[in-house]
Amino acid sequence: MGLLVVGSLGLDTVATPFDRVEEALGGSATYISLSASYFSGPIHLIGVVGEDFPKEYIQLLENHNVDLNGLQIVPGGKTFRWSGVYHYDLNTRDTLLTELNVFEKFDPVIPDYLKKTRYVCLGNIDPTLQLKVLDQLTNPMFVVVDTMNYWIEGKKDEVLKIIKRANVLIINDSEARLLANEPNLIKAAKKILAYGLQTLIIKKGEHGALLFSGDTVFSAPAYPLEMMFDPTGAGDTFAGGFCGYIYKTQDTSFENIKRAVIYGSTMASFCVEQFSTKGLEDLSYLRIKDRFRDFLRLSQFDEQ
At 300, which amino acid appears? Q
- What are the φ and ψ backbone dihedral angles of 60, each rounded to 5 degrees? -60, -45
Question: Which residues between 12 and 51 bind a copy of itself (CB under 8 A)?
Answer: none
Closest CA to 39 of 15, 3, 6: 3
Among 27, 50, 140, 208, binds a copy of itself (CB under 8 A): 208
Our CB check for a copy of itself shows the closer of 164 and 297 to be 297
Integer angstrom CA distances of residue 199 from 163, 168, 180 = 10, 5, 15
Cβ proximity to a copy of itself, 31 vs 245, nearer residue: 245
Residues 15 and 24: their CA atoms lie apart, in Å, by 11
195 interacts with a copy of itself by CB under 8 A:
no
Task: Print the binding letters for residues 77-116 with a copy of itself: x by CB under 8 A, - otherwise.
Answer: -----------xx---------------------------
* Phi-psi domain of 48 (left: phi exceeds 0; alpha: psi -120 through 50; beta: other): beta
Question: Which of these segments, 54-62, 135-143, 152-160, 201-209, binds a copy of itself (CB under 8 A)?
Answer: 201-209
3-state DSSP assignment of residue 298: helix
Q: Which residue in 107, 112, 157, 303 binds a copy of itself (CB under 8 A)?
A: 303
Q: How far apart are CA 127 and CA 135, in angstroms?
A: 12
Please, which residues have CB within 8 angstroms of residue 149's CB and are 6 or more apart in sequence? 174, 175, 178
Q: Toward a copy of itself, which CB reaches closer, 69 or 216?
A: 216
- Shortest approach of a copy of itself to residue 274 CB, angstroms? 17
Contacts (CB under 8 A) with a copy of itself, residues 232-291? 249, 255-256, 258-259, 262
Query: Which residues bind to a copy of itself, rule: CB under 8 A?
Result: 88-89, 183-187, 190, 204, 206-208, 210, 216-219, 221-222, 224-228, 249, 255-256, 258-259, 262, 292-293, 296-304
